[in-house]
Structure 1
Amino acid sequence: MFLTRFRLNTARPGARRLLSSPQVMHAAVMSSFPVAPPTAGDGPRVLWRVDHNSTAEVLLYIVSPDRPDLTHLVEQAGWPTAPGGWETRPYGPFLARLETDSVWAFRLTANPVHSIRRKEGEPTKRTAHLTPRHQMEWLLKRQKDSGFRILEKPLDQRRLPEGDQYQLIVHGRRDLSFGKTEQSNGRKNRVTLATATFDGRLQVTDPDALRRTLTSGLGKAKAYGCGLMTLAPVG
C-alpha cells in the first residue's frame, strides 16, 4: 500500500476543473495507474480525498495498492517546473505499527447516509444525514466495527448541553451534484450526494480492523472522494 500527497495549483484552470467534479477527479486519479486497480469489494482499493486547508493550500491524498504516477496531474493542475511534483510513501510500515490503545488524531471525509422507508410497502431509499448531530451519530455507530473508539472530552471541557461529549468536530459540509456517463451504455446521469469532514481523536481498539478501514474506506461514495481516513500523531 502507498500513501500519496499532491498539492493542487488552484490558479490553474485544470485544477479548478478537477475540483469542480468528483467524477472528473476520480477519472484523473484512476488514470495514475497503468493497470486498473480494484474499485469494488472489501479489500484494499484506491481511496482519495481533497483537503481544502486554505484558499492557497488544497491537497489531494491517495491511498492505493500500487504506486501512482501523477505526472499528468502535475502538468494539468500542479507546478510543472517545480522540483518534486508529488510525494508518495510506502503505507505498510505505518499500518504495521498500529497498536491497541494507541491514540491518534484523524481526518475523514465521508458520505453519511441511512436507508429509510417513507411509506409502508415501499422499498427503502438511501438518504443523507444533513445535520452535524446526525452525521456524528453516523460515525459513532461505525467506530466499533472499524477498529477504533472516538475519545470523549473531559467533563470540565464540555460547553454545550448536547453534541459536545466527544473530541470530534464536523465541518466542510457540502452538497454535490455532477454528471456521470455510464460506461456500459453511454447514458448520462446526475449524481447528488452530501459530504462532511470529521476531525477528532481516536483510540485504537482493533488494529486489524482499523487497517482494513484505512485501506478499504468507510461508508459510501468512495469513488467520489469519500471514505479515506488518515491518522496523524497527537499534538
Structure 2
Amino acid sequence: MYLSRLPLNTASRAFRRDFADVQQMHRTLMGVLPEVVSGEPARREHGLLWRLDVTDTGYLLLVQSGARPDWERLPSGYLAGEAQTRPMDGVLEAIAPGRALAFRLTANPTRIVRDPDAPKEERGKRVALHDPKEQLGWLARKGEQCGFVVPAGGDGGMAVNVSPCPPVIGYKGEGRSRNKITISAARYDGRLVVTDPEAFAEALRTGIGRAKAYGCGLLSLAPVRA
C-alpha cells in the first residue's frame, strides 16, 4: 500500500471542478492508477481511499492505494507543490495488540431505519447520523468490527472529538439520468488501541464505513504524543 500527500492549488480550474463534484474527484484519482484487467471494480481492486483536509497552508489531499499512483497524470497546475508518496509497509508491521495510536477518520456514519409495518424482507432506509452521541456510538460499533477500541479520555467519555463536515456533493450519470450525490460526513480525531491486529490491518487497507469512493473511510494514524 502507498500513502500520498498532495498540496492542492486552489487556483486550478480542474481542482475547483473536482472540489464542487466529488464524483469528478473520484474520476481524477482513478486516472492516476494503472488500468485494471482483472474484471474487479477498479476502486476496490486498487483499494483507493482519499480524504481532503484543510490545513493552515491550504487544502491537503491524502490518497491511499494498493498500486503506486502516477501523479504526472494529474491536470497541469493541479498541485501547489510536490506530491509525496511513501509505502505503508512499516505502518502495517507496527500493528500489534495493545498498540495505542492517534488517529483521524472522516466517515459517513449511518443507520438503517425500518418501517415496523413493512414486510420483514424489506431492508429499510439508510439515514445519516447527525447527533454527536449517535456518531460516537457508530464509531464504537465499528471499532468492535475493525479490531480497535477508543479508550476513555480525561472527562470519562471516549478519547475522541467528533465534528461535522460540510456536505459532500457530487453528480452521477448524464443528462436526465443525472443524480445528485449528497454525503453527510463527520470527522473523528482521537486515540485508539488495537485489539485485533488482523481485523485492524484489514480496516486500514479497505477503509471504514460507507462512501469510500467519495472521501470517507481513510484511517490515518500517528504515534500518541506524550
Shift of 1:229: 0.4
For 2:110 and 2:221, the matched residues in 1 are separated by 23
In the alignment, does 2:198 pair up with 1:196?
no
RMSD: 2.1
Tell me which residue corresponds to 1:224: 214
Shift of 1:228: 0.6
Tell me which residue corresponds to 2:13: 13
Question: Are residues 146 and 17 of structure 1, via their aligned partners in 2, closer, same or farther at CA, if it must alter by over 3 Å?
Answer: same
TM-score, L = length of structure 2: 0.88
For 2:184 and 2:6, the matched residues in 1 are separated by 24
Tell me which residue corresponds to 2:163: 171
Where does 1:94-113 land on structure 2 (aligned, <5 Å)? 94-113=91-110
Tell me which residue corresponds to 1:161: none
Contact 1:108–1:227 at 8 Å: present in 2 too?
yes
Question: Runs of 5+ in structure 2 lacking a partner?
Answer: none
Tell me which residue corresponds to 2:43: 39
Question: Runs of 5+ in structure 1 lacking a partner?
Answer: 159-163
Tell me which residue corresponds to 2:205: 215
Contact 1:106–1:231 at 8 Å: present in 2 too?
yes
Q: What is the one-letter code of the residue matched to 2:68? A: R
For 1:128 and 1:23, the matched residues in 2 are separated by 19
Shift of 1:186: 8.7
Question: In the TM superposition, what whole-angstrom CA distance separates every residue of 1:9-50 from its partner, at most 9, and x where no partner exists?
Answer: 22333322222221111111100112237434xx87111111
Contact 2:8–2:78 at 8 Å: present in 1 too?
yes
> Secondary structure of the residue that 1:67 maps to in structure 2?
coil
> Secondary structure of the residue that 1:144 maps to in structure 2?
helix
Question: Are residues 136 and 166 of structure 1, via their aligned partners in 2, closer, same or farther at CA, if it must alter by over 3 Å?
Answer: same
Contact 2:48–2:65 at 8 Å: present in 1 too?
yes
Aligned residues: 218
For 2:214 and 2:204, the matched residues in 1 are separated by 16
Tell me which residue corresponds to 1:68: 69
Question: In the TM superposition, what whole-angstrom CA distance separates every residue of 1:70-103 from its partner, at most 9, and x where no partner exists?
Answer: 1233624213xx5xx2011111222112111111
Percentage of pairs with the same residue: 36
Shift of 1:212: 0.4
Q: What is the one-letter code of the residue matched to 2:106? A: T
For 2:199 and 2:164, the matched residues in 1 are separated by 27
TM-score, L = length of structure 1: 0.85
For 2:97 and 2:46, the matched residues in 1 are separated by 21
> Secondary structure of the residue that 2:7 maps to in structure 1?
strand
Q: What is the one-letter code of the residue matched to 1:175? A: P
Shift of 1:231: 0.4
Contact 2:22–2:169 at 8 Å: present in 1 too?
no
